[in-house]
Amino acid sequence: MAQKGSSKRAEAERALLEELKALAQGLGIRVREERLLREVGYRVRSGACRLRDANLVLLERGLPLSTQIDLLADVLAERPLESVYLSPAARRLLEGRGLPAATAAVG
């Protein structure tokens, strides 16, 4: 039975991650899931960056879903979301990161 619960949790996390990725895309932020290679002399990490004139979030493909969600939520919580519909789960997540409750449109 524990497997069923963890399977439902994984499905919920995947759905939340997809919602956050769609939200990011709607805000003009490109999200790429990649295997970030590490070389001697520098360390590549998941996170936000700017490439030329584009906002970009790189997510390490091998990270747990919960970590990918946290990284993307941290980036999105800094954006103005007054007119954006957010599911209750996404709203709670972003409010927990400093998004004022008044700016999370219920839709």
Residue 56: strand pairing partners = 30, 49
Residue-wise burial string across 13-46, b where 16 or more C-beta atoms lie within 10 A, e elsewhere: beebbebbbebbeeeebebebeebeeeeeeeeeb
pLDDT by residue (tens digit) across 2-51? 567 788 988 999 999 999 999 999 999 999 888 877 666 666 667 777 77
More confident residue, 75 or 97: 75
| E-strand stretches of 1-96 | 29-34, 47-51, 54-60
- Those residues whose C-beta lies under 8 Å from the C-beta of residue 23, and which sit 6 or more positions away, are 76, 81, 84, 86, 90
Q: What is the pLDDT of residues 47-79, one digit of tens each?
A: 777 778 888 888 888 889 999 999 999 999 888
Q: Domain locations in the chain?
A: 2-103
Q: Count CA atoms within 13 Å of residue 4 on its CB side.
A: 1
- Residues forming beta bridges with residue 32, ordered by sequence position: 58
